[in-house]
Amino acid sequence: MQFTPRQTEIMLAARRDGAASISALAASLGVSLETVRRDIRPLVDDGHLVKMHGAIQLPDHGREAPFDRRMRENAVEKRRIAHHIAASIRDGDSIMLDTGTTTSILARELSARRELTIVTNSSDIARTLATVNGNKVFMAGGELHGDNGAAFGRTAIDFIARFRVRHAIISIGAVDAALGPMDYLLEEAEFARMALQCGERRIIATDHTKFGRAALVKVCGFGDFDLLVSDRAPPGEIAEAIEAAGATWEVAES
């Protein structure tokens, strides 16, 4: 569903605080309790929120776990995806990687490559690939997020916009059949969107659990990337949307 401005504010409040009372939302938005309840009802019906007595909160599947724990979730599938993508990257290639568990695992798969040029906002990826095998790493600056150790904001986006790389590879939080690839945080979505614009070959790496989910922020359309790599084939509607936009998808075999 497309959020109205008030619904967007409600979702941001739930994301920021974990839960929010309906009375507090009404006060902050300057509207009546009944207006807030009307705004919330479709969000609850579509599964974006869970309604409790006098309050709302995000459902468990709408919250991303801390980065270290996400690195362990679906690790086998993510390694398959990373191995599949790494097989198409050659010594001397230039690569842009955003922060994400799948892209961090991909960085480890690339440890055998030599003389790579890497552009990233992820301190984990930078540490993994810097100072080995003659690699050159360019690390974007900006506001540092404590959870994933990545930099965001206008400074980071302006920095990566200067580069043109062979492979631009991003990870995402959700893939909706109507809206396309999505993420949970505005700053992560904005960085990923710019990263795709910097690549000759634009790749989305995502495991199958992201299919059929919607997040808060749209990253790009189905026509804004060249290849989606996952551990399973996308569901019918998503596969059709990818192909209709002129992109392709591949399954990383075990």
Three-state secondary-structure class, residue 101: helix
Tokens linked to 133: 């095998």
User: Mind listing the pLDDT tens digit for each residue in 76-118?
Assistant: 999 999 999 999 999 999 999 999 999 999 999 999 999 999 9
Residue with tokens 């904001």: 153
Instruction: Let me know how long the chain is.
Output: 254
**Are residues 41 and 96 both part of a single domain?**
no
CB-based contact 102:207 (threshold 8 Å):
yes
The alpha carbon of residue 221 and the mean position of all alpha carbons in its chain are separated, in whole angstroms, by 13
pLDDT (0 to 100) of residue 61: 47
**Are residues 107 and 36 both part of a single domain?**
no
User: Mind listing the pLDDT tens digit for each residue in 84-95?
Assistant: 999 999 999 999
Measure the CA dihedral 233/97/184/28, to 10°.
Answer: -160
User: Mind listing the pLDDT tens digit for each residue in 116-170?
Assistant: 999 999 999 999 999 889 999 999 999 887 667 899 999 999 999 999 999 999 9
CB-based contact 166:200 (threshold 8 Å):
yes
**Are residues 245 and 137 both part of a single domain?**
yes
**Are residues 21 and 92 both part of a single domain?**
no
> Residue 23's domain spans which residues?
5-62
User: Mind listing the pLDDT tens digit for each residue in 23-67?
Assistant: 889 998 999 999 999 999 988 887 788 887 788 887 764 445 566
**Are residues 17 and 115 both part of a single domain?**
no
Q: HSE (CB half, 13 Å, CA atoms) of 200?
A: 7
CB-based contact 221:180 (threshold 8 Å):
yes
**Are residues 9 and 84 both part of a single domain?**
no
Domain total for the chain?
Answer: 2
